[in-house]
Structure 1
Amino acid sequence: MIAVGIGLWFSLRFEPGPWHYGGLLLAFGITLGVYRFGPEVLHPLAIALSCVALGMLAAGARAHLIEAPILGFRYYGAVEGRVISIDRSQSDMIRLTLDHVVLARVSPARTPARVRVSLHGEQGAMTLEPGQIVMTTAHLSAPEGPVEPGGFDFQRMAFFDGLGAVGYTRVPVLLLAPPVPGAQWINRLRAYIRTGVEARVGGDPGGFAAALVTGDRAGISRAAQDNLRAANLSHLLAISGLHMALLTGFIFATLRYGLALIPVLALRVNAKKLAAALALMAGAAYLALSGGNVATERAFVMVAVMLGAILYDRRALSMRSVALAACVLLVAQPETLMEPGFQMSFAATVALIAGYGALRGRLLPAAVPGWLTPVFAVVFTSLLAGVATGPIAAAHFNRIAGYGLVANVLAVPVMGLAVMPAAVLAGVLAPLGLASPALWIMGKGTAWILWVAQSVAGWEGAVRAVPSPPATVLPILALGALWVILWRGKLRFAGVAPMALAFGLWAMIERPPVLISGDGKLIGVTTVAGRALSAPKGAGFAARQWLENDGDMADQPTAAARGGFDGPATMRGFTLAGWRIVQIKGKETQTQLSEACQLADLVVIGAKLGVDAPKGCTVIDETRLRRTGPLALWVQTDGSLKLMPTKTQSRLWSGSRPEKPIVLASPSLQAAANPLKP
């Protein structure tokens, strides 16, 4: 119910004001009063409504507390700031995140708190490390919104990450000042460990090993990351629940059974609780060392709840411990609800607890021989986690790993039995200069995982693409699955109905026939062969997102080669259910406008319209697209054309007013109104 409240808050078209939050506070107080003083029959309803109100209040409070300036224009000039993070972009370029930002001719009140800059061109002038004060000349702009209506909102994610601008530079980054002693010491320690591990292990295995310890993926090639994703092993790369559980579990088990071997201590201290306390401290250190990203914070909260349960003599792994961890995260960081990492980790955990709970006393240990139990556990765990997280991963990433179960069975045991224990030993032995054997084991383990990923990714049918589902699919699917898991008796199977409904809605999804990019320079049209694009280059992020959302694995040049458009590159045209649409771009845009208006019912210009459009000519130019965002075009049953805008919300992160759909009369009605048009 807290998640429902958060989801409702994010779906609002407007930014709630003081009166809205006052009403929510009043509702929260009333429902608590009903729970405290009302009849017991109303208690479940009162709790549910109070949790919905709490979710909305938490989301609003979080958004206003972290609100920071967002760059309101395109900027080109000097950029100065302190390096707080170094990673790689999707194009495999080194990328810097800076704070303490200074922009030329921009007042501090309008300067973003953080900016992210991708480094293009020659960048060998200095060795980058966190804490440095650097300077460069860069292109910056505000984070972009979705590339189509209902698409992934990078603008919202950047807002909650504190990013007020993103961009790139083609000139070398220069060092203004070295790190201040004591400043960014955690990030500097992470960089030191990363370079040390990469130097000892080497190659992609070294980059993988360093990422497991520090969370920094800069040392892993794009090809290796693509293989891990195709084999459904990318979860091994992100420091999340698996790594935190393996590390704290190894420390807990080692300390507990190690203390039991020492009679003097075993008879005088509670080894179980002492091991839990020390494992919790180790988990906190790992959280700090890994950079404290959201996934690791989520994993630490879950581990802290479980180890805390041991300290208080409660069951360490139960639905209540998972629910408590979820409540803590949702109230503290409501935006995590919208992230695939949150959804997948809790889905996997709930499925594992429910699955093993269902097997308790039925199958294990009687039906499985002792020597086969570890193999059964690995297969069953991978199967449960894969079934639970598969739909979520497919919805967010438009990919299904066909052989993910095989890859996980081959890789996860090595991670648990060799890589993570070796990482712990390396950390303990490093101050003594004895970490080399542990790092050697760690390198062999990561090399094996990467080999499994490369092999499985190369199998035919390893990756299958799926289209993006409607926004309602995952909430309906989650509620149905929770009903099946949490309810008791035969009534639990009623939850299968909403799950079936969710998959039915997904199967019937209809993608937009036409998509127009936010700058008007790229159009995508649905054809029999897939979506055809109007250009092989330009608006690359939009092109990639459109094709992925279609469930299409083609790249932009391949999609541009499909039939669907006619005419030269500067005047591309196509027909859609009787509508003739023409896109013009290039230096002669204004001179081509009259000709395009004679040929088309709708003209799209990849620039600003510098003159008045001819009478009766409907034009979409950069100015209109700046207001509406990218457009999706749908032909209605009456022949009219509906233009769906992307900017349908006026929120703290969007900085714009919501736009309504535009409906254009059918070409036949336009011809009747304008008989002079051919």
Structure 2
Amino acid sequence: MRVLARVEAALLNQTGYLFPWSPVCLAMGIGLYFSLRFEPAWQVYVCLGAVVLAAWGLARKARSGWASLAIGGALIAVGFILAGIRAHTVAEPVLSWRYYGPVEGRVVAIDRSASDALRVTLDRVRIGDVPKDRRPQRVRLSLHGPVAQIEPGQRIMTTGHLSPPQGPVEPGGFDFRRHAWFQSLGAVGYTRVPVLTIAAANPEGVQITAWRMAISGHVRSILPGEVGGFAAAVTTGDRSGMGQSTLESLRASNLAHLLAISGLHMGLLTGFVYLALRIGLSAVPVLALRWPVRKLAAIGALIAATVYLMLSGGSVATERAFVMASVMLGAVLIDRRAISLRAVAVAALIVLILRPESLLIPGFQMSFAATTALVAVFGQLRDVGQLPGPKWLKPVAGLFLSSAIAGLATAPIGAAHFNTMSHYGLVANMLSVPVMGMVVVPAAVVAALLAPFGLDSLALGVMGLGLEWILLVSERVSGLEGAVGHVASPPGYVLPLCACGALWIALWQGRSRWLGVSAVAAAFLLWGQGQRPEVLIADSGGLVGVMTDQGRALSKEKGSGFIATVWLENDGDGVGQPNAAARWPEPSAIQRYSWRGKELIHLTGKRAASGFGDCTSNQIVIAAVEVDLKGDCDLYDPARLLQTGSLALSGSKVMTSRKIVGDRLWSPKTRGDKRAQ
């Protein structure tokens, strides 16, 4: 009873501070839905609905301490229900076999692939004689052949290779199938032949995209090269004008966030417009004395944010930033504190309700981690007083502190998802973020105002100078020795544990908040003790990787390049595929490797398969082609790999992607398809 009394007393002491925990509880329910290995039946949702009603009734009758727990439980159930509803409402057909033939559709998005090829997303798709009920709503094609002018709204046709979205390249890894499911992306592929335009651009349904691409082209015509591509990316979200080398240097210097139209850009834009309008209106005595200048400035900033959202393509990151900006500007309109943990919580609730799958996206995690940390720390500083030091030094100290806080808050998330850490990222941000805020964004706003009069070239020139400086910083910083460190992927429970500890520190009131430090410390300790799989097998059978004292040895120096890159990144290994393949002993047509008293045999081609004789019980055979073997070896051929997906072997433990992902809406149906024969 004493324990219960202490728990209730602790909850009562948090009265007035519990609202920021609402999105945390909602996120717990969403995370629970995505962590399941089976798709919940409708009865589960009915039961959870009953739980929500019961918890709501209990919260109304119980004492306030226990009422907060009841509300938290209800929010967890609501999060689960929302995620399930969202997953079912976005359901569209997914290609279940490899297809080669005519592909026709309307261009709705243009970007670049990881191989630097132009890439288009098509809707209103037609592929061969596939009936409409089995036809993907959207497909994405990388264009490796001759490419004419591609515009949004065009209907194009080509001959291409399509396949279902790929599952995790290793058990427990990123599931692109799940990501594609929520984008209604039912097939991905490529073409090496010319693309034909069979219908001129029709702006119906893609008018905003057409405007974006037109603005992007105009910006690049004034600012050529990588600077123009950078300018187009930060104004319209179009990155098709940027090369991979520039993107890599921005990532290596921890400046890639300047490309994504997210919280920083939206905050700088709305902040600049708000201050400009407030100063301008206050300079007119008649307006300053008779009108609520502060609220008018907030309305103007909100309009600017809305226009920016439309022109930037409305990506998930931009929508998230718009919601956060809208909540803070709305707080100004109703005379509330604009920057507070409650405002951040409201923004997180809106995003999670509209797009529950955002919880799994690194951008969501990093954005709200940085924002929560900044608001919490500066809130404490506001309570204890201003930053120490002379006035002229305070802006520099504030910039340094905010960059350091945001960097520390997002570093574990970035390292967990991308397996890299920029050792000089703080320096690069200190040199670049002020230029983005004081030069690039104001010049972009002025250019937008002057564009209707054809006078935007001068403002874009100023913007280009700022972007040239940022690109110079990224190039120099990324070129420093040891600029990038490589980190192995943590076990799946590490990041949630770290997040829970950090949130406890930020949101809980009182000295017991520092208990969260132990959770964060435990997370990093468990991260350091995590073990990578000893053997990895690709779901196609085309690549095998074995962990050695020198790092992972790969069975091939070419082919399956994406899989090889992800494996090595997850190992925290900075070498390329050829160097990793050099670790494999005695390369030959039939790749062999001795592992734990067994012999791994990798057969990649029909010739190698036909030249392999009978197998024995101490052999594990991985074949990328159909083979007919005699013997009692453990065989992983295409038919079996179709059922298992990628594999990870550690000792006697065999883990498959299929087992970890389970039978979900986005999981492939393994019963087979006659078209795949």
Asked if TM exceeds 0.5, the reply is yes
Aligned to 1:62: 86
Aligned to 2:63, which of 39, 64, 68?
39
**Whole-Å separation in 2 of the counterparts to 1:41 and 1:631:** 47
Question: How far apart are residue 472 of structure 1 and its match?
Answer: 0.7
Aligned to 1:48, which of 72, 77, 97?
72
Structure 1: state its 5+ residue gaps: 636-640, 659-678
2:592 matched to 1:566?
no
Aligned to 1:178: 200
**Whole-Å separation in 2 of the counterparts to 1:482 and 1:322:** 13
Aligned to 1:19, which of 43, 47, 53?
43
**Whole-Å separation in 2 of the counterparts to 1:31 and 1:385:** 36
**Whole-Å separation in 2 of the counterparts to 1:602 and 1:176:** 51
Aligned to 1:594: 613
**Whole-Å separation in 2 of the counterparts to 1:253 and 1:217:** 29
Question: How far apart are residue 618 of structure 1 and its match?
Answer: 2.2
Aligned to 1:324: 346
Aligned to 2:665, which of 648, 652, 668?
652
**Whole-Å separation in 2 of the counterparts to 1:588 and 1:87:** 39
Aligned to 1:545: 566
**Whole-Å separation in 1 of the counterparts to 2:578 and 2:499:** 38
**Whole-Å separation in 1 of the counterparts to 2:579 and 2:546:** 14
2:598 matched to 1:579?
yes
Question: How far apart are residue 181 of structure 1 and its match?
Answer: 4.8
**Whole-Å separation in 1 of the counterparts to 2:437 and 2:200:** 39
Gap change, CA 1:338 and 1:459, over 3 Å in 2: same
Range moving further from structure 2, 382-391 or 643-652: 643-652
Aligned to 2:11: none
Question: How far apart are residue 540 of structure 1 and its match?
Answer: 1.2
CA contact (8 A) 1:137 1:169 kept: yes
Aligned to 1:208: 230
**Whole-Å separation in 2 of the counterparts to 1:620 and 1:111:** 31
Output the amino acid matched with 1:284.
T
| Secondary structure of 1:158 counterpart | helix
**Whole-Å separation in 1 of the counterparts to 2:49 and 2:431:** 51
Task: Name the Cα RMSD after superposition.
Answer: 1.4
| Secondary structure of 2:242 counterpart | coil
Q: How does 1:602-621 map to 2 (within 5 A)?
A: 602-609=620-627, 611=628, 613-621=629-637
**Whole-Å separation in 2 of the counterparts to 1:27 and 1:566:** 61
2:424 matched to 1:406?
no
**Whole-Å separation in 1 of the counterparts to 2:539 and 2:379:** 50
Aligned to 2:648: 632
Question: How far apart are residue 593 of structure 1 and its match?
Answer: 3.7
Question: How far apart are residue 40 of structure 1 and its match?
Answer: 3.0
2:142 matched to 1:118?
yes
Aligned to 2:123, which of 71, 90, 99?
99
2:334 matched to 1:312?
yes
2:654 matched to 1:643?
yes
Output the amino acid matched with 1:153.
D
Aligned to 1:663: none
2:490 matched to 1:469?
yes
| Secondary structure of 1:603 counterpart | strand
2:418 matched to 1:397?
yes
Question: How far apart are residue 278 of structure 1 and its match?
Answer: 1.4
Structure 2: state its 5+ residue gaps: 1-24, 672-677
**Whole-Å separation in 2 of the counterparts to 1:512 and 1:182:** 50
**Whole-Å separation in 2 of the counterparts to 1:245 and 1:40:** 37
Q: Give the number of the structure with larger relative contact order, counting CA–CA contacts within 8 Å between residues 6 or more apart.
A: 2
Question: How far apart are residue 601 of structure 1 and its match?
Answer: 2.0
Output the amino acid matched with 1:65.
T
**Whole-Å separation in 1 of the counterparts to 2:132 and 2:608:** 39
Question: How far apart are residue 582 of structure 1 and its match?
Answer: 1.3
Aligned to 2:12: none
Gap change, CA 1:479 and 1:472, over 3 Å in 2: same
Output the amino acid matched with 2:637.
D
Gap change, CA 1:590 and 1:205, over 3 Å in 2: closer
**Whole-Å separation in 2 of the counterparts to 1:74 and 1:628:** 18
Aligned to 2:391: 370
Q: How does 1:515-526 map to 2 (within 5 A)?
A: 515-526=536-547
Output the amino acid matched with 2:636.
I
Aligned to 1:387, which of 408, 411, 419?
408
**Whole-Å separation in 2 of the counterparts to 1:616 and 1:178:** 60
| Secondary structure of 1:112 counterpart | coil
CA contact (8 A) 2:447 2:456 kept: yes
Aligned to 1:486, which of 500, 504, 507?
507
| Secondary structure of 1:50 counterpart | helix
**Whole-Å separation in 1 of the counterparts to 2:491 and 2:504:** 21
Q: How does 1:256-335 map to 2 (within 5 A)?
A: 256-335=278-357
Aligned to 2:13: none
Give me the identity figure in percent.
Answer: 51
| Secondary structure of 2:606 counterpart | coil
Aligned to 1:638: none
**Whole-Å separation in 1 of the counterparts to 2:376 and 2:402:** 11
CA contact (8 A) 1:34 1:43 kept: yes
**Whole-Å separation in 2 of the counterparts to 1:590 and 1:149:** 26
Superimposed CA distance per residue, residues 398-446 of structure 1 (whole angstroms, 9 cap, x where no aligned partner): 0000000000000000000000000000000000111111101100000
CA contact (8 A) 2:617 2:632 kept: no
Superimposed CA distance per residue, residues 83-127 of structure 1 (whole angstroms, 9 cap, x where no aligned partner): 11110000000000011111111001111010000000222xx21
| Secondary structure of 2:290 counterpart | coil
Aligned to 1:434: 455
**Whole-Å separation in 2 of the counterparts to 1:654 and 1:535:** 28
Output the amino acid matched with 2:35.
S
Aligned to 2:373, which of 332, 339, 351?
351
CA contact (8 A) 2:603 2:609 kept: no
**Whole-Å separation in 2 of the counterparts to 1:553 and 1:377:** 35
Range moving further from structure 2, 405-414 or 573-582: 573-582
**Whole-Å separation in 2 of the counterparts to 1:122 and 1:134:** 13
Question: How far apart are residue 307 of structure 1 and its match?
Answer: 0.4
**Whole-Å separation in 2 of the counterparts to 1:31 and 1:62:** 23
Output the amino acid matched with 1:616.
D
Aligned to 2:575, which of 545, 554, 561?
554
Output the amino acid matched with 2:335.
D
Aligned to 2:477, which of 456, 462, 465?
456
Output the amino acid matched with 2:657.
T
Superimposed CA distance per residue, residues 510-563 of structure 1 (whole angstroms, 9 cap, x where no aligned partner): 00000011111210010111101000011111101100000011111111011x
CA contact (8 A) 2:535 2:545 kept: yes
**Whole-Å separation in 2 of the counterparts to 1:284 and 1:557:** 48
| Secondary structure of 1:258 counterpart | helix
Superimposed CA distance per residue, residues 445-466 of structure 1 (whole angstroms, 9 cap, x where no aligned partner): 0000000000000001100000
Output the amino acid matched with 1:646.
S
Range moving further from structure 2, 335-344 or 265-274: 265-274
Gap change, CA 1:591 and 1:487, over 3 Å in 2: same
| Secondary structure of 2:158 counterpart | strand
CA contact (8 A) 2:229 2:242 kept: yes
CA contact (8 A) 2:153 2:203 kept: no
TM-score w.r.t. the length of structure 2 is 0.94
Tell me how many residue pairs correspond in the alignment. Answer: 645
